[in-house]
Amino acid sequence: MSFTRRQVLAGLAGLGVAGLGAGGVRYWLGRPENVATHDYELIAAPLDLELVPGHVTSAWGYGGQAPGLELRCRQGERLRVRFINKLDVQSTIHWHGIRLPLEMDGVPYVSQAPVLPGEFFDYDFICHDAGSFWYHPHTASAEQLGRGLVGPLIVEEREPTGFRHERTLSLKTWHIDEQGAFTDFLVPRQAAREGTRGRLTTINGEPNPTLELPEGQVVRLRLINVDNTITYRLNLPGGEARIYALDGNPVQPRPLGKEYWLGPGMRIDLALKVPSAGEELSLRNGPLRLATLKGVASSEVAGDWPPLLPANPIAEPDLARAETLRFNFEWAAMLSGNVERGGSYKYWQINGQAWDINDKTCAERPIATLKKDGHYIFVLRNMAQYQHPIHLHGMTFKVLSSDRRKIIPYFTDTYLLGKNETARIAFVADNPGVWMFHCHVIDHMETGLMAAIEVV
């Protein structure tokens, strides 16, 4: 298997980590002034945060922020990001939900060599689909995502959509104690269950923020679950909100309803009719408040509900000629295995195979080989008592049906497979490569629930 060589950071003098001190912002943003638009230099580096008042959390950030700098691009255009690794561990960037060539997918030893400390890697791809996406490493994920290496990637529609206001809300629950110190990102006995939960819930790195929104306007809220393990049960009591997109892909607008379960890796774009100035709504996870949405005075004329967002150019699977493949997600009998000898914990498996995150050759043994441009139905069966947000790299699939809930078919890259649920998804295998297929509960992925799907 061949992959792109990393590049050594030479001749990039002056890019030392300066922290957030004087001149920090310009340094961190690193958006070169005289290069075409949508070019970024994205630096990953240690970053001290004050998540708990009066205490320091030694986080890791992208572009001087955790969650990281919001990257933006227009649909159909190229996005070029020079990723500069100023951490003292190796890393990569994966572009979650973006349909791109394998060499840009950020999976170590499959797409590229890991980017070593002091090195950089140039990511360069076209954003074919508009929507709310995100980025994160695909190396030592429990710790790297846990420390804050997660960030939004917004691909704007080609034409104006009718939304004049929008906000991005990245949801993350930090694994820190009362003094702001990190606690274990992956506790084995939790990995064998629902995953290791953090303690401090934040939106854009802030616990319980108040978002001021212009009264009477319809604001697009892009909610991104960048958390390692938590499924947020989103609700907005008394709010007038409609769902416009799920996981980056437009849906026929419909009311948010009582609750929407946003699993790790998933996104939801809501349109919210902002209440009058001074009025507040509470965006919640189950009964817990995540943020206060507050109307503030605005001189703009009241907004109206924008039309359905334009569909992304995704090939429609032909179910009549599709081949059906079955995938069972189950508990692995072997518990700690050979951990003492350097093996990984394996609690989970797909069709009887557990992925070993310490074995660089796993991707050479794909769990399925698909024909390029073939049409496929995957039957996903969860044989466990815990839910799994199942994610596929490289291609977007259509959710067809479930034995547990009514599905209005829609395109996505991550499907939250509930306890004991069986669901059917379909797609056209139009992107050649070796694509990761895994649960986005990071603890599950790192303890076996990952496989490679090959398209040739």
Task: Identify the residue among 222, 381, 438, 444 touching ligand C2O (CB under 6 A).
Answer: 438
Given the complex with Cu ion, which of 423 and 441 has the nearer CB atom? Answer: 441
Determine, following the binding rule CB under 5 A, whether residue 444 of this chain makes contact with Cu ion.
yes
Interface with ligand C2O in residues 346-365 (CB under 6 A): none
Beta-carbon count within 10 A of 45 CB: 20
The answer to whether the beta carbons of residues 251 and 245 sit under 8 Å apart is yes
Given the complex with ligand C2O, which of 138 and 375 has the nearer CB atom? Answer: 138
Determine, following the binding rule CB under 6 A, whether residue 388 of this chain makes contact with ligand C2O.
no
Determine, following the binding rule CB under 6 A, whether residue 138 of this chain makes contact with ligand C2O.
yes
Q: With b meaning 16 or more CB within 10 Å and e meaning fewer, what string describes 285-313?
A: beeeebbebbbeebeeeebeebeebeebe
* DSSP state for residue 18 in the 8-state scheme: -
Report whether the peptide linkage leading into residue 67 is cis, meaning its omega lies within 30 degrees of zero: yes
Distance of alpha carbon 357 from alpha carbon 439, whole angstroms: 13
Task: Provide the minimum distance between the beta carbon of 230 and ligand C2O in the complex, in angstroms, as a whole number.
Answer: 15
**Residue 265 binds: one of ligand C2O, Cu ion, none (C-beta under 5 to 8 A by kind):** ligand C2O
Task: Provide the minimum distance between the beta carbon of 424 and Cu ion in the complex, in angstroms, as a whole number.
Answer: 19
User: Which of 129, 92, 1 shows the shortest CA–CA distance to 394?
Assistant: 129
Phi, psi of 139 (to 5 degrees): -130, 140
Determine, following the binding rule CB under 6 A, whether residue 436 of this chain makes contact with ligand C2O.
yes
Distance of alpha carbon 25 from alpha carbon 12, whole angstroms: 18
Beta-carbon count within 10 A of 352 CB: 9
Determine, following the binding rule CB under 5 A, whether residue 439 of this chain makes contact with Cu ion.
yes
Contact region for ligand C2O (CB under 6 A) — 119-127, 190-198, 380-388, 435-443? 435-443
Judged by CB under 6 A, the number of residues near ligand C2O is 10
**Tokens describing residue 220:** 């697009």
Interface with Cu ion in residues 90-119 (CB under 5 A): 96
Determine, following the binding rule CB under 5 A, whether residue 381 of this chain makes contact with Cu ion.
no
**Residue 444 binds: one of Cu ion, ligand C2O, none (C-beta under 5 to 8 A by kind):** Cu ion
| Binding stretches for ligand C2O (CB under 6 A) | 94, 96, 136, 138, 265, 391, 393, 436, 438, 440
| Binding stretches for Cu ion (CB under 5 A) | 96, 388, 393, 439, 441, 444
